[in-house]
Amino acid sequence: MTWLESWADMTLLDFSRGPAMKVAMFVFVLGCVWRLLGIALLRGRRDLSTPRHANKWKGLRLMGLRSWPRKEFLGGTAFGEALGYTFHAGFFIALLFFLPHVLFFTDIFRGLGIPSLSSVTGFSWPTLSSGTIYFFSAISAAALLAVLVHRIINPVKRMLSNFDDYFSWFVTFAPIVTGMAAVSHVLLPYQTLLALHYLSVALLLIWFPFGKLMHMYYIFTTRGVEGVQFERRGATL
């Protein structure tokens, strides 16, 4: 039996749990290492000017400062930032405190030889009830929808948006709604919904290194680097 025949014989759930996830994980790790190393190994630019401020590392404050809207732009950016925080909070609560997700990560850590939290500290990672997770997932999905609508109706944002923005939105939104559908068993058999959830996660992992979702790595490092440069040159942060 060839691998193609064995794939063809699989149920959708087995395919999503097996080959699809394996390929997705491979692409995710390969892509992330590739992209990050490609940037890390670029030539640095030497700056021979005299630093304006003695301690340039104070510029790292920019990582935090940029995470909150500036007073001057509050009216224009507060709504978008509030949606962003709402989405991210809901998303990470659902991702990190739902038992099946915790078991997914635990299995990976175990497979990579990384000791579990409980084996080191004696405490196990806490999980939340299904209802709580569903609530935060719903908030997260609603925030994502609002972000999309805002992006579409705002002429400036619409003009700045490209395929990357919309597809990154889609691959983030899909796991949330398929996960919620799987938990609530709506429309399709549970196995199909679960398979769709796994496949949507696989799609997210595959797209992650090549789209704007890489901001997960870049966002704070970029702000830190900029802050250090600004501080050196005497800019007001």
Partner 1 sequence: MIDPKPPAATLGEHLARRGISRRGLLKFSAAMTSLMALPPALIETFAQNLASAKRPSVIWLPFQECTGCTESLTRSTQPSVEQLIFDMVSLDYQETLMAAAGHQAEQSLADAMKRNHGEYLLVIDGSVATGADGGYSCIGGVSNHALLQEAAKGAKAIICVGTCSSFGGIPQAFPNPTDAQPVSDIIKDKPIVNVPGCPPIPAVITGVLAYFVAFGRLPELDPLRRPKAFYGETIHDRCYRRPFYDQGKFAKSFDDEGARSGWCLYEVGCKGPTTYNACATVKWNGGTSFPIQSGHGCFGCSEPDFWDQPGGFYKPLAALDWGGAATVGAAAAGGVALGATAAYFARRRQKYLAPKDDARGPGVSDSSTQAAGSSAGKDGGRRSGGSNDMA
212 binds partner 1 (CB under 8 A): yes
Residue list 148-167, contact with partner 1 (CB under 8 A): 160
Among 2, 4, 5, 42, binds partner 1 (CB under 8 A): 42
31 binds partner 1 (CB under 8 A): yes
14 binds partner 1 (CB under 8 A): yes
Cβ proximity to partner 1: between 48 and 153 the closer is 48
Among 176, 177, 223, 231, binds partner 1 (CB under 8 A): 223
Cβ proximity to partner 1: between 17 and 61 the closer is 17
Tell me which stretch binds partner 1 (CB under 8 A): 53-61, 86-94, 137-145, 214-222.
214-222
Tell me which stretch binds partner 1 (CB under 8 A): 5-13, 85-93, 135-143, 171-179.
5-13
CA-based angle 64:70:72, to the nearest 5? Answer: 165
We find the least distance from the C-beta atom of residue 16 to partner 1, in angstroms, to be 8
We find the least distance from the C-beta atom of residue 142 to partner 1, in angstroms, to be 19
Residue list 80-119, contact with partner 1 (CB under 8 A): 99-101, 103-104, 106-108, 111-113
The contacts of residue 167 (CB under 8 Å, 6+ apart) are 207, 211
